[in-house]
Amino acid sequence: MIRLIALDLDGTLLNRDKEISDANRAALQRAMARGVYVTIATGRVMDSARHFGWLIGANAPLVCCNGGLVQQPGEPPVFVRAFAPAFARTFMDYAIGRGWYIQWYDGETLRGTDYRPEYFDAYRTVPGFTVQAVGDRYLDYAEGVLQFILRDYTGDNMAAMLTELERRFPGEFETMRNVPQVTDLMPPGVDKAVGLAALADHLGLTSGEVMACGDGLNDLAMLRWAGTAVVPADGVPEAKALATFVAPPCDEDAVAAAVERLIPADRRAP
């Protein structure tokens, strides 16, 4: 029996306009009325997870930063894993010294040396989204970094940048690149499966009671871990190969279709 639904945002819960359809929202609310926990599981930072979690009325702690932070907003984290400050400082010096555009997140604030709005089109539906510009004082903000985000406006240089980083810092971070222009860097061993497993344990659930919904490369770990794996038809082939159920494309209410197919309408809260 499915007791927890974990939802990736981009390309899964969100359509191509970065919005939640009425059908998806209504289906999730029906699932929660039947006693199912619903959460967000995203590579985005907590501000985005919180916003979309609020829109659907999520009733479980949120999984963000590709699993590095699991938290009910306003409460202590269920799970958190950060980079050592010494590594964070060395990494900042290295990347910023090469003129690369990076941000970093400590669970509360997304920072960078400056804010370039043109790099953040995917966040256009998150009210008040910004990056705190800290200029040359970036080393003052190396404590508790959960995630670095490396951005390249065209994506043409990203592969070379990652090769250089992996040579300079072997084994000191995990990378996740879902689009050519953006790569997330997390502490070693962090992925969505790790965060989702921590949440399931917190709720007293097993992997077999979890339905994970995702479309991208950063979803593969949680799709493998969960007892039920839902992937929109326009997800990447690697994700669809893991699917228990291939839903319609994200623009065609993928999440609503999965809920109606996999959560019985006559189910009642335990």
Per-residue pLDDT of 107-119, as tens digits, reads 999 999 999 999 9
* Residue 269 clears pLDDT 80, i.e. is over it: no
- Domain ranges, residue 165: 85-186
Q: What is the reported pLDDT for 267?
A: 56
CATH number, residue 89: 3.30.1240.10
Task: Tell me: pLDDT of 270 over 90.
Answer: no
Pair (97, 176) in one structural domain: yes
Residue length, the chain? 270
Residue 268: pLDDT over 60: no
pLDDT reported for residue 229: 98
The band of 94, judged by pLDDT with boundaries at 50, 70 and 90, is very high
- Residue pLDDT, tens place only, 50-68: 999 999 999 999 999 999 9
Residue 24 lies in a domain: yes
Q: Residue 94 falls within a domain, yes or no?
A: yes
- Residue 126 is assigned to a structural domain of this protein: yes
> How buried is residue 227: exposed, middle or buried, by Cβ count under 10 Å (0-12/13-18/19+)?
middle
Let me know whether 76 and 199 are in one domain.
yes
Could you tell me if residue 269 is inside a domain? Answer: no
Q: Label residue 241 by pLDDT band (50, 70, 90).
A: very high
Using an 8 Å Cβ cutoff, are 149 and 92 in contact? no
What confidence tier does 178 reach under pLDDT thresholds 50, 70, 90?
confident
| Claim to verify: residue 156 and residue 227 sit in the same structural domain | no
Q: Which long-range contacts (CB under 8 A, 24 or more apart) does 92-99 make?
A: 92/138, 92/139, 92/142, 93/139, 94/165, 94/168, 94/169, 95/148, 95/150, 95/165, 96/138
Is 149 inside a domain boundary?
Answer: yes
Looking at residues 79-93, what average pLDDT do you find?
98
Of all residues in the chain, what percent carry a pLDDT higher than 70?
Answer: 98
pTM of the shown model = 0.95
Same domain, 199 and 69: yes
Number of domains in the chain: 2
Q: Establish if 10 belongs to a structural domain.
A: yes
In the structure, what pLDDT confidence band is assigned to residue 264 with cuts at 50, 70 and 90? confident
Which CATH number goes with the domain that contains 250? 3.40.50.1000
Same domain, 51 and 95: no
Average pLDDT along the chain: 96
Last residue of a domain, one of 186, 217, 248: 186
Does residue 64 sit within a domain? yes
219-232 mean pLDDT:
98
